[in-house]
Amino acid sequence: MQKINLNDAPANNELEVLDIDAGRFARQRLIAMGIHPGDKLLKFNDASWGPVLIQNVTLNSSKIAIGRRLAQKILVRYENT
């Protein structure tokens, strides 16, 4: 099990949100998008540029794209396979 920010997490793995390490406004923005501590996310892309494409599996939400700077503030955990 590894703890890492969402930006650096590998694609096509189920990730658990541990914490949102951000200020009040960034935290509110992520919560408004449906990203909460304890949720399971699926990351779709692994490119070093452009937005991060994710889906909240816990809420069965649509895919959303978030910027890389915002993705760096989301701490996740994933299982090595």
The DSSP call for residue 24 is: H
What CATH code is assigned to 2-78?
2.30.30.90
The DSSP call for residue 70 is: H
6, HSE (Cβ side, Cα atoms, 13 Å): 35
Distance in angstroms (rounded) separating the CA atoms of residues 53 and 80: 21
Query: Residue 34: which H helix or E strand, with range?
Result: none
Mean pLDDT of 63-73: 93
Q: What is the pLDDT of residue 77?
A: 94
Q: What is the pLDDT of residue 13?
A: 87
How do residues 23-44 score in pLDDT, each as one tens digit? 999 999 999 999 999 999 999 9
**Token digits for 31?**
């919560």
Share above pLDDT 70 across residues of the chain, in percent, rounded to a whole number: 96
Residue 49 confidence class, pLDDT cut points 50, 70, 90: confident
**What residues have CB less than 8 Å from 79, skipping those under 6 apart?**
1, 13, 14
- Which alpha helices (H) appear in the chain, and where do they start and end? 24-32, 68-71
